[in-house]
Amino acid sequence: MNTGSNPFPAPLAPLALAVLIAWPLSGQAVQDDGDAGDRTLADVTVTARKIEERPQDVPFSLGVTSADEIEDRRLRSLENVLEQTVGVQVMSLGDAAGTALRIRGVGSVQRVGQEDSSVTIYQDGVPKTLANTTLNTLDIERVEVLKGPQGTLFGRSSEAGAINVLTRQPTRHFEGYGRVEYGNEHQRALESVLSGPLSATLAGRLALRYDERDHVADNVNTGKPLMRPRNAAARGKLLWQPAAGTDATLSLAVEEQSNQSSGGTILRPYGSRPSVDYRPSAADSDQRTRQLALEINHRLADMRLTSVSGLSKRTFDDTLQFYEGRLWQQLIGFQPDGFRRMHIDERLLSQELRLSSLPEAPLRWVAGVNAFDSEYRFDNLDSYDRFNPANVLNADIRRRFGSRAYALFGELTVPVGEAFSLTAGLRHTWEKKHRSIDWQANPDNPGALRSAADRHRLDEDYTTGRLALGYRLDPTTNLYAVLARGYKSSGFIDQDTSVALGMRETPYAAARVNSHEVGVKHLSADRRFGLNAALFLNRSSDDHLMVFDPVTWAMRPMNLDTRSRGFELDLSWQAARSFGLNAGLSFVDARIEGGQALAASAARRGNRLPDSPRWSAFVSATHSTPLAALDGAILRTTLSARHVGKRAADVENSFDLDAYTKVDLRVALLLGSSELYLWADNLFDKQYDLYAYRYPAMIPGGADATIGIPGRARMLGIGLAHHF
C-alpha cells in the first residue's frame, strides 16, 4: 500500500484531474455526436419537500445521485454515495453502528448514542436510525441529500440535514438483471432483480444480493484476515393500482450481516498491512435488520392524500476482547485479559398522514401529522476483566431506552409577482423519552457496590421551521436565500456508567442550530450544463461530546457550541452523448465556540471540529466509445476521484489526519443487454484513515498511542451483468 505523499495534494486536484481527462475526450465526443437531443442532462424529479418538483425549484442545497451514477461509479454502499456528495462528512468506524454523519460541519462532535444523530435517514418514506439503515445500494432509484436543517418536514434528528433513499418501484412490464462479481481480498458478489405484472392491477419486484470480502486487518496470531464480513440482503415490493389516482406499495426488506466487527482498535501507524492481536475467534459481530413499509396514495380533486406506515427491527450481537495486544503492549508492556459481549434489540414504528398539492398546482404545499415510537435494548453480558477487576464494565449491564414523538407540520410556497416565491414552514413536536439501567457486578469485581439501578424520564416539546425567498433571474437560473431552525432533542448516552459509581446519569442537553444560506441554481437552456453554488453559516448550541476516562472506563456526555461557515460548488456537464462530467468542491471552516465541555475536557475555544476537513472535492467523468469492430459494442469508462483535506482527529486537536485523494476506475464493455466490466477501487493504493483517536499514557512515563480504522487498500475485480 502506498503510504507516501499524496499524488494529488492540492484541494483542487480532483477538479484539475477532471479537466485533464475531459479536455481531449470532450472534444472527441462533441465531434463524434451530431444529435444535440442526445446530449442533455437527465430529467430528475425529487421529493425532497414531499412533493414532486425539479431540483432547481427547491430553495435549499440538494445533492441527487441517480441509479445510473450509482452503477457507473460502482457505489455499493450508502456511505460511498455520501462520500461523493459535497459538504457531507462521513465519520466511519468501519461499520454502520459506528458511523456518524455531519453536513457542513453541523452534527454531534461525537455520537453519544443510537438516537444522537444529526442527519435523519428516510428509506421509502420510513425514518430510520443510522445503525438500522440498510447501507447497501441494492436496487436504488436515487439518493437525495438535503442540506441544512430539515426539521420542518423530516422532523426529529435532522438538525444538519436529511437523506432520502428511494428504491425502485415494481413495473408493469417484465424486466430484471443478474450480476456476478469476483475480486482480490476474496471479494464475491451475486445480485439479481426481477420485476413485472402479477395481475391487471398488481405488480411485484424482488431484489437479492450477497457479498463478502476479507476484513481490512489481519490477526497476527493467525496470519489471516481477522474475519470475512458477509452481507445478504433481500427486498420485495408489491404495487397495487386498483383505480386511476390510487396506489398502494407494500415493501419488505431484510438484511443479514455477519463478521462485521471493525476490529475495535488498530494501532497506528498501520504499516503496509493493518494488523491486530486478538485470540482467534475472539472478535465477532452479527446484525439483522428488517423493514416493513406501506405507502398509500390517493388523488383527490385538487390535492393528494398520502399515508406512510413503517416498522423496522434490528438485532445486533458483538463480542470483542477488551484489550487489543499491539496497543496494550505499547501502553503498558503486556496484553491484559478481558472480554465483553453486547446485545442490542431495536424497534422503530412510524406513521405519517399528509395532504399535499398536485405537481401542476400553482401553489406548492404539504401539511400533515406524524407519530414515532421506538424501543431500544442494550445489554453488556458475560464480560470480565482480569487486569482491572474493578472496571465498571466487569458486570452485567442491562439498559432500556424508549422514545415517543408526535408532530404537526406544514409548508407553503407562494408565488410573489412574476419572479419571486416565498416559502414558509413550521413543525411542532411533542416528545417523551425514558431510560432504565440495571447494573450487577461480577463476582470477581472487588468494588463495594454490588448492584445499582437508575430510572429517568424526559418530556419536551419544540418548534422547528424555515423561511425561504426564491427569485427566478431568468428561465435558466434561480436564486434563493433561506433561514432555518434545527433542533435535536435531549437524551441519554448509550454506554453511561455513572450508576456503577453511585451517581445518577445526567442527560445530554438538546442541541439547536440556526442556519443561513444563499445560493444559485443554474441549468443551461440546452440542458447540457448545470451549476449549483451556495454560501452558508451555521451556529449550533449544546451539540454533543462524549468524555471518556480510560482509567475508570466511565463515560459522560458534555455539550459544545460550534460554528461552521463555507461555500459549495457542484456542476454537471453533458458535453456529448458519449461524455459526461460531475464535480463538486466544498470549503467548511468548522470550529468550537464554547460550551460546558470546555471546562471538563481538553477542548479549547477556536479548536477545529474533528473529522471536518476545510477542503474536500470530488469528480467523476464517464466516456463511452462505440466499437464498430464488435458489432455495436460500447466501451464505457468511468474515473472518479475524491479528495479529503487535512482534518483534526479529536476535539483537543492533539493530532491531524493527513489529506488524501482516492481514485476509482470502472471500465465496462457493453454488448447489447450484457455488460462485462473491470474495476479498481483506490487505484493508487493510498492509505488513509476513516477515524483516529489518541489513547493517553496509562503509566507514569509510559508511551501514549493513536488508534484508528484505515480505509481499504486497492481492490481489483471483474464483473458480469445481464439485463432483460
Q: Model confidence over 458-469: pLDDT tens digits? A: 999 999 999 999
Residues 83/91, Cβ–Cβ less than 8 Å: no
Domain membership flag for residue 3: no
Cell of 647: 482534518
| pLDDT higher than 60, residue 36 | no
Residue 703 located in a structural domain: yes
Asked whether 449 and 502 are in contact (CB, 8 A), the reply is: yes
Q: Are 568 and 714 in contact (CB under 8 A)?
A: no
Q: Which of 589, 584, 635 is nearest to 608 (CA)?
A: 589
Is residue 5 a part of any domain in this protein?
Answer: no
DSSP annotation of 323 reads S
559 against 197, higher pLDDT? 197
Question: pLDDT, tens digit, for every residue of 285-331?
Answer: 899 999 999 999 999 999 999 999 999 999 999 988 889 999 999 99
Instruction: Report, as an integer, the average pLDDT of 188-203.
Output: 98
Predicted confidence (pLDDT) per residue in 396-443, tens digit:
999 999 999 999 999 999 999 999 999 999 999 999 999 999 999 999
- Count the neighbouring beta carbons within 10 Å of the beta carbon of residue 362: 8
Rounded distance between C-alpha atoms, residue 669 and residue 721, angstroms: 10
Q: Which three cell numbers stand for residue 178?
A: 443478474
Q: Is the peptide bond before 269 cis (omega within 30 degrees of 0)?
A: yes
At 695 the pLDDT is 86
Q: Which amino acid is at 428?
A: H
**Listed range (102-116, 248-262, 427-441) with the worst mean pLDDT:** 102-116
Judged against a pLDDT cut of 70, whether residue 13 lies above it is answered with no
Residue 688 contacts residue 681 (beta carbons within 8 Å)? no
In a domain, 556, yes or no: yes
| Nearest C-alpha neighbor of 477 from the set 519, 518, 418, 521 | 521
Predicted confidence (pLDDT) at residue 28 exceeds the cutoff of 80: no
Look over the chain and give the mean of its residue pLDDT values, rounded to a whole number: 89
305 part of a folded domain: yes
- Portion of the chain with pLDDT greater than 90, in percent: 69
Residue 12: predicted pLDDT: 55
Report whether pLDDT(165) > 80: yes
DSSP state of 113: S
Mean pLDDT, residues 253-271 taken together: 86
Domain ranges, residue 558: 13-723
- pLDDT over threshold 70, residue 553: no
Q: What is the pLDDT of residue 18?
A: 47
Q: 397-401, 600-604, 642-646: which has the minimum mean pLDDT?
A: 600-604
Residue 597 banded pLDDT, cuts 50, 70, 90: low
State CA 118 to chain mean position distance: 11
Q: Are 146 and 154 in contact (CB under 8 A)?
A: yes
Tell me, what CATH number does 68's domain have? 2.40.170.20
Q: How far apart are CA 493 and CA 548, in angstroms?
A: 12
**pLDDT at residue 261 is higher than 90:** no
Query: Are 125 and 108 a contacting pair, CB within 8 Å?
Result: no
Question: Which residues have C-beta within 8 Å of that of residue 240, sequence separation ≥ 6?
Answer: 201, 202, 247, 248, 249, 250
Domain membership flag for residue 327: yes
Task: Determine the pLDDT at residue 37.
Answer: 45
Query: In sequence order, what DSSP letters do the residues of 416-462 get, joined into one string?
Result: ETTTEEEEEEEEEEEEEEEEEEEEEE-TT---S--EEEEEEEEEEEE
Residue 413 contacts residue 365 (beta carbons within 8 Å): yes
Question: Is residue 373's pLDDT more than 70?
Answer: yes
Domain total for the chain?
1
Angle (CA) 59-64-70 rounded to 5° is 180
* Residue 18 included in any domain: yes
Closest to 495 in 3D by CA, of 580, 383, 603? 383
Structural domain includes residue 4:
no
Q: Which band of pLDDT confidence, cut at 50, 70 and 90, is reported for residue 9?
A: very low
Q: Are 75 and 564 in contact (CB under 8 A)?
A: no
| pLDDT value of residue 109 | 66
